Each structure stands twice: as C-alpha cells, then as structure tokens.
Amino acid sequence: MTTTYWLEHAWLDTHVEPGVALDVSADGRIASVRTGVEAPPPGAEVLRGLTIPGLANAHSHAFHRALRSLVQVGSGTFWTWRDFMYKVAQNLTPDTYFALARAVYAEMALAGITNVGEFHYVHHAPGGVPYADPNAMGEALIEAAAEAGVRITLLDTAYLSAGFGEAPNQHQLRFSDGTADAWAERVSALKGRDHALIGAAIHSVRAVPAGQLATVAAWAQERGVPLHVHLSEQTAENDACQAAHGRTPTQLLADHGVLGPRTTGVHNTHLTDADIALLGGTTTGTCMCPTTERDLADGIGPAVRLQRAGSPLSLGSDSHAVIDLLEEARAMELNERLASRTRGHWTAAALLRAATADGHAALGRPDAGTMAVGAPADFATIALDSVRTAGPVPRLGAETAVFAATAADVRHTVVGGRHIVRDGTHTLVPDVPSALSESIAALRS
C-alpha cells in the first residue's frame, strides 16, 4: 500500500522546491518524487512548512541528558564535569536506562532527528559484573529507540583503561570488558534489526591500550560497519599520548589501522597539521559537536581545514546540553566566524548536508539523508510561520532552517513512512516532558 505525502516546500539537496508529492511504498522507502504538484492530491498527508531529510545525530550519550543544568552550576572543567557523569552512570540499570533513553530519543524525534549514533559504553553492573545478558544495556538502548520511533546505530564502545597504562578506576569498571578480545566476543552477540545497526567505537586512545586498538578496528572492518572514536577533545589527552607513545593520538590511530572511510573521529579539536593531513588523506570523518564543545570549553576544532583536506563532516549533540541539530549546524559556522573573523565558510545547503546525508553515512546508512527514489522515507518538517521563521521567502528555506529555526520549530517527523511526530506531538510517547522528568528523577533516588 502506498502513502502519499504532499510537501508544501521541500529541500531537495540543492534548492527548495514548492509543491512536492512523495509516494512511499509499503517497505517505508520513497517510491516516487513528483514536483510541481500545486495542491495536495486526494488522501495525501499534508506537511506545511519546509520538509528536509531526517536529521542524523551522529554522536549521542543518552544518559548524559540527566546532566542538563546540573553541570551548568558554577564553573569547572571537562574533568570536573566527568565526575558528575560518573555519578549518574553508577545509577543506571537496564530498566532505568531504557526509560531514560526512550524519553531522550523521543526528544530527538521532536527535534526532527530520525537516526541516532549511540556511543555506548555503560555495559556492566557497578563493579564490572556482567549482567545475565552481557548486552542487557545495549539491548535496552535498541528497544528504547524502537519505542521512540527512531533508527539507531549502536556504537558499542571498547573502554578498557583509565589512561595510558592505568587500570580502570572504580567508576570505569562497569565500562570495561577487560580486553579488546573480550569486548569483541560480547559485542558479536548483538544483532541488528530493521531500525538498528551495530557498529563499534574506541572510546579514546587513553581508554584502549595501543596494542589492542587493531582488534577493535579489525572487528569493524571485517563486518563493514562504522567505527567511531573520541579524538583529541582535550589537550591533556594529546600531552599524555605524546608522553606515552611519542606521537599524537591521530598518529597512534593511524599506526594501528584505525583510520579510514568507515571511521569517524569525534571532536577532532586539537590537531596538528600532520593530523589533519592524515585524517583527510584517509577520508576519516569528523563529527563536530559544537554545543557540547562550547559547554565544556573544549575549543573550536579546525572543521574547515579538515573538510578541505578530505574529511567528511557530520554533527552530534553529544552530552545533550541541548538537543537541536539545527543549532549544531548553525554553531559550526558561527564558531568558525568567531575564530576567523570572516563569514560564510559553509552555505546553508552544506550545513544541512552535514546534518543529514553525511551524518547518516557516518552511521552506516549512506542511502539515507536525501529525498530521492529508493531512499528511506525519513524526513522532518520545519514551520515557516513561527516567530523565528516568519518573514523570509520560502526559496530561502534552507537559510531560514539553519540560521533562524530551532528544534521547537519542527512540526512533523516521519521515519520509514510512519508519522512519529505529528503537529509537534510525539505519536508514540505523548508526554515526552513527563517521561524525561520521571526517568531522570529515578536516577537521583
């Protein structure tokens, strides 16, 4: 059975087109794209505003949502922030994590996000004791995404040490499988589903010993799945890596076969010229998380230079200081303007591609992020008549979306042809604020 969506205005990768009809087949993919359709066809679902491909949140730690506002009290550093994060992580169970992640992923759907890359490293019970199902926490995240109506790439993360040569601390024991081989054995038992892909992650060069990096990389390469890694987020990590190995984290990853077109470095903030050349030359991706990077005072990464060198850019909300991929796209450009004191490093269309097609590709779904025949019918509609978006002519819809709109302007989200958010209300989790409040409160008890 075919469902037809009529889009008042649609961003078709390069321009805004008025009056577009999308026919969606029973398998949830786009069967046809018809332009010049001035009025809704009989029986069509009408989406008024600007419809764009579904947004891809390429870097998420769902439980960090419980830190919002708590870690904004007073001052501090990334490392003091991490202490708060450990306390929240200690209270997670498969049930409480499911409830929280379901609410967080529903919040993402309300923001037009149709696919999330979950960088998942809370694997075991406190103290490091495996659950009866060693993948209970990962399974909770996969089920949470299903109930929230979004796709997920579970980036199961190897996190084995506290630092270069240091055993995991008390808080990190539940993150660690002990060795990369044990990590690989556990994660191999995870199975993907229609809405879920299984990928891999190296938490960081400080959290996976150099001699075990290749094991994680080989696991991902053998399966052709995404591999992500936190990279040079902090200068302290760079200094420690130089002291331990006499090279930068990027060079260390290159030495052990981690870099490549299926790999994405997250943050990539403090890089040398040689690092940038290595990442670009291997077409290793870069996931920028501007709202988190500014919240933690990490710095502004060299996104322009990375992209010019050949590193594809994607975007993530990371710690969920806010969940708003439009703000992430806007912040990447505006941060660069502040750093360089020049404007216009990316067009609105280029920023939308980072938030859509390139983000989906980084999560192992290169067919997504476009409204074309054969692509998944995943899209979001942004109001053009809110106090933020009213006024500009519709042909400037991409500029309006990136430089004026916020997540609050998303009116509809469709995933696999199914209406997940309708008129600003989640169809599967009707009261998302209450779900967030209750699941976060449960972690304080």
User: Which residues are the active-site residues?
Assistant: 267, 318
Q: Tell me which residue has tokens 């066809």.
A: 41
Distance, CA of 443 to CA of 163 (rounded, Å): 27
Residues 6+ apart with CB under 8 A from 309: 276, 277, 279, 280, 281
Alpha helices in 267-396 (DSSP H): 273-281, 290-295, 303-309, 325-340, 348-355, 357-362
Distance, CA of 92 to CA of 397 (rounded, Å): 41
Distance, CA of 274 to CA of 410 (rounded, Å): 41
Distance, CA of 28 to CA of 26 (rounded, Å): 5
User: Coil, helix or strand for 328?
Assistant: helix
Tokens of 290: 């501007």
Tokens of 410: 């998303």
273 bridge partner residues: none
Tokens of 405: 């709109």
3-class secondary structure for 165-215?
CECCCCHHHHHCCCCHHHHHHHHCCCCCECCEEEEEEECCCCCCCHHHHHH
315 bridge partner residues: 288
Alpha helices in 178-319 (DSSP H): 180-187, 210-223, 235-245, 249-255, 273-281, 290-295, 303-309
Report the C-alpha dihedral over residues 412, 416, 420, 424, rounded to 10 degrees: -10
Distance, CA of 412 to CA of 274 (rounded, Å): 44
